[in-house]
Amino acid sequence: MNDDNEQEDQIREYEGTTENQSQSEASSDDYILSDDEELHNILSHDINPHLNTTNLSDHASYFQDSLSNAMDSIEIDKSLALKAQISGNINNENQKLIEKNQQLKESISRLQELFKKNFAVSNDSKISKVDQMKNDIVNIEKRIKKLTNGYESKGIFKNKKVMGVAQKFPIEYNKARDKVLERQINIDS
């Protein structure tokens, strides 16, 4: 009886193995058949509703074109950004030049006004202010010289000599003169 059981087990085992083999062969056959169908579809140029192209080289060229367009647009973006940056720098420098030009025009007009006011001859006087100041300085120097050294007055009948401060008061004059010459001048103020 034992032998019969063993034989039955072996038969069942053999049948199970055969079934497993047939199932695995069937699944691999289905897989191979599905690949064959796809290959047949590609080779027969059947139109796939999801893709406009059916050839692998068409896919590759499509991706290559889209990548090159993307790279071209990146280069264009970089060049546009660089152009905008350069344009901004040029506009900034142009604005600075315009401001400097305006400042120079204002300075020139102010200098022209000062020149007209001080160096040009005005309508109400015959000499300019600078020439008038030069004349005033010469007159003041002459008067100081007369006060310090004296002068001679010429009258109709008699010449009169007037003594200056240096001759009338020599000690006081020299002390005052030394005090003025030795005086420390504050340059800071």
pLDDT in tens, 57-100: 887 888 788 877 777 777 778 888 899 999 999 999 999 999 99
Exposed / middle / buried, residue 57 (Cβ in 10 Å: 0-12, 13-18, 19+):
exposed
Cβ-Cβ contacts under 8 Å for 120 (sequence gap 6 or more): 128
Residues 111 and 153 in one domain: no
Exposed / middle / buried, residue 156 (Cβ in 10 Å: 0-12, 13-18, 19+):
exposed
What tokens does 96 get? Answer: 């600075």
Residues 111 and 137 in one domain: no
Q: Would residue 5 count as lying in a domain?
A: no
Residues 63 and 94 in one domain: yes
- pLDDT of 141 reads 95
Is 176 within 8 Å of 183 (Cβ atoms)? no
pLDDT confidence tier of residue 46, bands split at 50, 70 and 90: very low
Taking phi first (over 0 means left), then psi (-120 to 50 degrees means alpha), and beta for anything else, what does residue 19 get?
alpha
Rounded to two decimals, the pTM is 0.39
Last residue of a domain, one of 118, 147, 173: 118
* Alpha helices, DSSP H, located in the chain: 2-43, 56-118, 129-149, 165-168, 170-182
- pLDDT of 39 reads 61
Distance between CA atoms of residues 161 and 69, nearest Å: 110
- pLDDT of 69 reads 76
Residues 114 and 132 in one domain: no
- pLDDT of 65 reads 81
Is 148 within 8 Å of 165 (Cβ atoms)? yes
pLDDT confidence tier of residue 49, bands split at 50, 70 and 90: very low
Q: Would residue 142 count as lying in a domain?
A: yes
Domain encompassing residue 65? 40-46+55-118
**Which of residues 89 and 15 earns the better pLDDT score?**
89
* Counted domains in the chain: 2
**Which of residues 99 and 120 earns the better pLDDT score?**
99
Q: Would residue 174 count as lying in a domain?
A: yes
Residues 114 and 59 in one domain: yes
Residues 166 and 137 in one domain: yes
pLDDT digits (tens, 9 = 90+) for 134-174: 999 999 999 999 888 888 877 777 777 888 888 888 899 88
Residues 74 and 105 in one domain: yes
